[in-house]
Chains A and B, each alone.
Chain A
């Protein structure tokens, strides 16, 4: 990249396109040797850099899984931290191959931006946190409340809709950065702090006394978050969609990072054999090798493992599976079968 750039900028020669633009995304990715993945600039549990600068999170794991499915190596992925405003342009212009950045799947985005959502890897929803001392048990008791939130996000819109629908008055106090919102809420400038429930869990630890606050039971919006790809390259779309499906199916079948290889060797269960490449040519249909799912699972673990490692009860976020549990365990995660 930079070579062409410096050349053209310094010498004033017009940019010249390489052969890369004629190829499909998969061919381009194979040619450059890594997947370029757009992530957030830091959202706990979803995508953030750890102490040594490595990206972690469930959005990051998905990208690693795709890389592993293609190359058999989950480290062949590079991350572009993107702001909310940049993300769709970066994907549309080909700067990144997958956008895995806690992006809500909405109809406008799916139909108007030239993008396709390849699935949902986290079902979020907007929630509200109040100080326990307020004595409020439900959002319907919040008439006249001061509400802290971020500017320019759909959270503002959702909370307005909710209060209008319930005929309640409210005062919106909006800030640019999450840290400012937390500081204002902690200092008592408002009665309610509203954002996505995963965000509430992450920001809660920044409060002076976390136990003195409670999250109200109401979820006032649907925020299905998932990976996004460019429209018009169905092969690539399928790879991302089925990698996600493979991770969810793996959890359902009890296939983990540690036991995937031995399960493949020791099973007669056709569903497991099909998933792990012991039967059929499912990988080849995607343009990959037949052990694509095996590689993805051994790289990041199944969906449940990734969840537990990044946002689950044993992480700082302490989020229960809730609706993100498998369909047969009380949640709504339901991946199409591989057959």
Chain B
């Protein structure tokens, strides 16, 4: 663009007396109108590529680009209009006469809408809202689900929004206390575990934590000091389990709601959140195990990861819901939702492990050596040096996995658990609402809900990436 002008006074070494020398600074001018505003944006982003008519070849190209642009605009405009028209403009919003499906029937079918009409049947969704959101969960106990949602989302917002105080406390509440609270509220609790069991776990947990303390204090040698390094986590896990059992074992007077009655969005959220929350720590452990020098830990991790990655989720779910009951003694039933939960979690943790292993491999050897040189133990160096960097690197990968498991939860509907998709599909079977637009409406709702959650997760991950970006 920039050309050296021979007449430019600055380019000549001698300045003649009659040459024009500017003595005042040139005023700042606003950018030309063609560069700013809507006009400028349109030119730069759309018309620039099709305004070159300097040669036949360039004109040809500009024409092609113009045609393609028009085509793409037309395509998207019609698609978008089609969607808006279906969902909003042509849609039926109310069923004032209480005629159910006839509210969404055209004249040909015996209804009152014009021939060829095609729009969403919202009264059908309004009638089924409770079922789509909560399944067959008893109406009089719905407040328990709602309270759980409310508490959960408040805690989540507290943890996710940075300027709020006490976020560490909130994350502790969310990860430790909330699962107990949610299980108690949703199932009803009162399982009545024996106090001996709870006490035993507490004691064992305390013993392990003591072992850990002794290890830190340097009172242990040999195999015990190796054990001590992991006994802290194990101890706290046991204490957590004991507390969990104590809480859901206690009878707070809530009615027990069988998981068979759960359904809809509730199932989707329960399965997705459990799988996501449990698979992250499991995945980290598996990834570390796979890169470990210890042959047994490494082999076990590899076998675990390769096994669970090698089978499709559908197979896992079928195995969990069809095969496991056959292996059980007759009359003993594993709760079907719990079976699916465990299956999805294990399956998901194998994927998570591989994503995290990618992050571990991306960390320079020097970081490991530097951590060792500082005298950090293995767990310290992982916790303080390696993992924070590794997890940051693979954040997009982790969120990718999380989003995919959120969508994969809909597979549980093939084993008779009504997730959001399954519940909506089962409402399609209600002949009281059957019409040609019934299933498009139902699927539109399901797609919107999934999009809402997945898009939200994706945006939060972008925010996190920006926040954690250290510019190197």
Stretch at the interface among A61-69, A142-150, A201-209, A323-331: A201-209
- The smallest beta-carbon distance between A127 and chain B, in angstroms, is 17
Instruction: Tell me whether A18 and B331 are in contact (CB under 8 A).
Output: yes
Alpha-carbon distance A289/B425, docked complex (angstroms): 40
Instruction: Tell me whether A206 and B434 are in contact (CB under 8 A).
Output: yes
Instruction: Tell me whether B431 and A202 are in contact (CB under 8 A).
Output: yes
- The smallest beta-carbon distance between A198 and chain B, in angstroms, is 11
* Chain A CB within 8 A of B444 CB: no
Instruction: Tell me whether B434 and A52 are in contact (CB under 8 A).
Output: no
Contacts of A22 in B (CB 8 A): 331
- The smallest beta-carbon distance between B343 and chain A, in angstroms, is 12
Contacts of A45 in B (CB 8 A): 431
* Chain B CB within 8 A of A43 CB: yes
Residues of A50-71 whose CB lies within 8 A of B: 50-53
Please pick, from A1, A10, A94, A183, the residue contacting B258 in the complex, using a CB distance under 8 A: A1
* Chain A CB within 8 A of B232 CB: no
* Chain B CB within 8 A of A172 CB: no
* Chain A CB within 8 A of B197 CB: yes
Contacts of A7 in B (CB 8 A): 191, 193, 197, 245
Stretch at the interface among A76-84, A103-111, A263-271: A76-84
Contacts of A15 in B (CB 8 A): 328-329, 332, 334
Instruction: Tell me whether B435 and A3 are in contact (CB under 8 A).
Output: no
Contacts of B418 in A (CB 8 A): 41, 81
Alpha-carbon distance A17/B334, docked complex (angstroms): 11
* Chain B CB within 8 A of A339 CB: no
Alpha-carbon distance A95/B258, docked complex (angstroms): 13
Alpha-carbon distance A332/B403, docked complex (angstroms): 54
- The smallest beta-carbon distance between B317 and chain A, in angstroms, is 10
Instruction: Tell me whether B331 and A316 are in contact (CB under 8 A).
Output: no
User: How many interface residues does B have (CB within 8 Å)?
Assistant: 64
Instruction: Tell me whether A208 and B108 are in contact (CB under 8 A).
Output: yes
Alpha-carbon distance A199/B259, docked complex (angstroms): 30
Given A5-B335, A18-B332, residue A205 in contact with residue B434 (CB < 8 A): yes
Instruction: Tell me whether B430 and A93 are in contact (CB under 8 A).
Output: no
Q: Which chain B residue lies CB-closest to A47?
A: B429
Stretch at the interface among B10-18, B61-69, B129-137: B129-137
Alpha-carbon distance A99/B376, docked complex (angstroms): 61
- The smallest beta-carbon distance between A195 and chain B, in angstroms, is 14
Instruction: Tell me whether A21 and B106 are in contact (CB under 8 A).
Output: no
Residues of B284-334 whose CB lies within 8 A of A: 318, 321-323, 325-326, 328-334
Instruction: Tell me whether A48 and B429 are in contact (CB under 8 A).
Output: yes
Alpha-carbon distance A246/B68, docked complex (angstroms): 72
Given A10-B241, A210-B109, residue A44 in contact with residue B260 (CB < 8 A): no
* Chain B CB within 8 A of A278 CB: no
Please pick, from A3, A49, A78, the residue contacting B430 in the complex, using a CB distance under 8 A: A49
Residues of A1-49 whose CB lies within 8 A of B: 1-7, 9-11, 15-18, 20-22, 28, 40-45, 48-49
Instruction: Tell me whether B109 and A205 are in contact (CB under 8 A).
Output: yes
Contacts of A81 in B (CB 8 A): 416, 418, 426
Interface string of B329-366 (1 = CB under 8 A from A): 11111111010001000000000000000000000000
Instruction: Tell me whether B101 and A316 are in contact (CB under 8 A).
Output: yes
- The smallest beta-carbon distance between B344 and chain A, in angstroms, is 14
Instruction: Tell me whether A317 and B106 are in contact (CB under 8 A).
Output: no
Alpha-carbon distance A43/B429, docked complex (angstroms): 5
Instruction: Tell me whether B335 and A206 are in contact (CB under 8 A).
Output: no
* Chain B CB within 8 A of A86 CB: yes
Given A17-B331, A49-B136, A316-B432, residue A90 in contact with residue B131 (CB < 8 A): no
Alpha-carbon distance A204/B415, docked complex (angstroms): 28
* Chain B CB within 8 A of A211 CB: yes
Instruction: Tell me whether B101 and A21 are in contact (CB under 8 A).
Output: no
Alpha-carbon distance A41/B131, docked complex (angstroms): 13
**Interface extent on A, as a size class?**
35 or more
Instruction: Tell me whether A93 and B425 are in contact (CB under 8 A).
Output: no
* Chain A CB within 8 A of B414 CB: yes
Contacts of A9 in B (CB 8 A): 338, 342
Contacts of A53 in B (CB 8 A): 130-131, 135-137
- The smallest beta-carbon distance between A78 and chain B, in angstroms, is 7
Residues of A166-217 whose CB lies within 8 A of B: 177, 179, 183, 186, 202-203, 205-212
Instruction: Tell me whether A80 and B416 are in contact (CB under 8 A).
Output: yes
Please pick, from A80, A92, A203, A212, the residue contacting B326 in the complex, using a CB distance under 8 A: A92
* Chain A CB within 8 A of B209 CB: no
Alpha-carbon distance A81/B414, docked complex (angstroms): 10
* Chain A CB within 8 A of B122 CB: no
- The smallest beta-carbon distance between A282 and chain B, in angstroms, is 29
Given A1-B333, A51-B128, A202-B434, residue A41 in contact with residue B439 (CB < 8 A): no
Interface string of B124-168 (1 = CB under 8 A from A): 000110110001110100000000000000000000000000000
Residues of B207-255 whose CB lies within 8 A of A: 241, 244-245, 248
Instruction: Tell me whether A2 and B191 are in contact (CB under 8 A).
Output: yes
Instruction: Tell me whether B322 and A51 are in contact (CB under 8 A).
Output: no
- The smallest beta-carbon distance between A10 and chain B, in angstroms, is 5
- The smallest beta-carbon distance between A306 and chain B, in angstroms, is 16
Instruction: Tell me whether B434 and A6 are in contact (CB under 8 A).
Output: no
Interface string of A304-328 (1 = CB under 8 A from B): 0000000000011100000000000
Please pick, from A5, A49, A183, A202, the residue contacting B426 in the complex, using a CB distance under 8 A: A49
Contacts of B127 in A (CB 8 A): 51
- The smallest beta-carbon distance between B264 and chain A, in angstroms, is 10
* Chain A CB within 8 A of B427 CB: yes
Contacts of A85 in B (CB 8 A): 318, 322, 414
Residues of B425-461 whose CB lies within 8 A of A: 425-432, 434-436, 438-439
Alpha-carbon distance A143/B303, docked complex (angstroms): 55
Alpha-carbon distance A152/B245, docked complex (angstroms): 44
Instruction: Tell me whether B109 and A93 are in contact (CB under 8 A).
Output: no
Complex A-B: 26 CB contacts under 8 Å: A2-B187, A2-B259, A6-B183, A6-B245, A16-B332, A18-B332, A41-B422, A48-B429, A48-B430, A49-B131, A78-B258, A81-B418, A82-B416, A83-B415, A90-B325, A93-B325, A93-B326, A94-B330, A95-B333, A95-B336, A202-B434, A208-B109, A210-B109, A211-B109, A316-B432, A317-B431
Q: Which of B's residues lie within 8 Å of A, judged by CB?
A: 101, 106, 108-110, 127-128, 130-131, 135-137, 139, 183, 187, 191-193, 197, 201, 241, 244-245, 248, 258-261, 318, 321-323, 325-326, 328-336, 338, 342, 413-416, 418, 422, 425-432, 434-436, 438-439
A41-B422, A44-B430, A186-B436 are known; give 13 further A-B pairs, CB within 8 A: A2-B338, A15-B334, A41-B426, A42-B430, A44-B429, A44-B434, A53-B135, A53-B137, A85-B318, A90-B416, A93-B330, A93-B333, A206-B435
